[in-house]
Amino acid sequence: MNKVILIGRLARDPELRTTAGNVSVATFSLAVSRPFNPQNGGDAGADFINCVVWRRTAENLAKYCHKGSQIAVEGRIQTRNYTAQDGSRRYVTEVLVDNLTFLGSRADNNSVQDINNTVGNNYSAPVDNYTEANTTNIEPTDISEDPFKDFGEEITLSDDDLPF
């Protein structure tokens, strides 16, 4: 099984091109945070993963997202090779995107404001089945209220009560 799911931020603006057959393709690099590592001073770092997306989703990505936009991608890893102009053999590993979701809020990313006004804060479009009508606007939950208020009395635990 070859399946990849990533959430990260665009490391650079997407590069939109059109093939000879007039099909849109966008390439981009996704910066994905690594887990926190206290051994190196807490600096988690990031991996920069090359991705490719096709057709209408490529056009929407290039139109509404830019460097720093947070997105989620679902796809598969693909490897290919080619011969460079200097005659050396080059190998490329990239994620071929099947589904792409725009994440974040308007405050995080002003460039997606137009599409968010149309289809809601989280925009998801499968590569081959693009539909805006199926996306709804989801209101955030009020977190100022205690979610456990109806569960009875407060329980106090000491360190001796914990199994670890």
Q: Which domain holds residue 13?
A: 4-138
Instruction: Check: CB of residue 138 under 8 Å from CB of residue 103.
Output: no
Q: Is residue 148 part of a domain?
A: no
The token pair at 103 is 């994440």
Q: What total of structural domains would you count in the chain?
A: 1
Q: Is residue 134 part of a domain?
A: yes
Among the listed ranges 5-19, 24-38, 123-137, which one has the minimum average pLDDT value? 123-137
Q: Is residue 78 part of a domain?
A: yes
Strand partners, 8: 71
Q: Is residue 34 part of a domain?
A: yes
> pTM of the prediction?
0.61
pLDDT band at 52 (very low <50, low <70, confident <90, very high): very high
Q: Is the pLDDT reported for residue 49 higher than 60? A: yes
Q: What is the average pLDDT value for the chain, to the nearest integer? A: 75
Spatial neighbors of 119 by CB under 8 A, at least 6 apart, are: 132, 135, 137
Q: Is residue 113 part of a domain?
A: yes
Higher confidence at residue 63 or residue 36? Answer: 63
Strand 89-102 with 46-54, pairing: parallel
Q: Give tens-digit pLDDT for 136-162.
A: 444 445 555 655 566 566 666 677 766
What number is the average pLDDT over the span 23-29? 93
What number is the average pLDDT over the span 39-54? 82
Higher confidence at residue 129 or residue 94? Answer: 94
Q: Give tens-digit pLDDT for 76-117.
A: 999 999 898 999 999 999 999 999 999 876 555 444 444 433
Q: Is residue 143 part of a domain?
A: no
Residue 2, phi then psi, degrees to nearest 5:
-125, 95
Chain centroid to Cα 124, Å, comes to: 10
Q: Is residue 36 part of a domain?
A: yes
Q: Is residue 153 part of a domain?
A: no
What CATH number corresponds to the domain at position 81?
2.40.50.140
What number is the average pLDDT over the span 15-33? 92
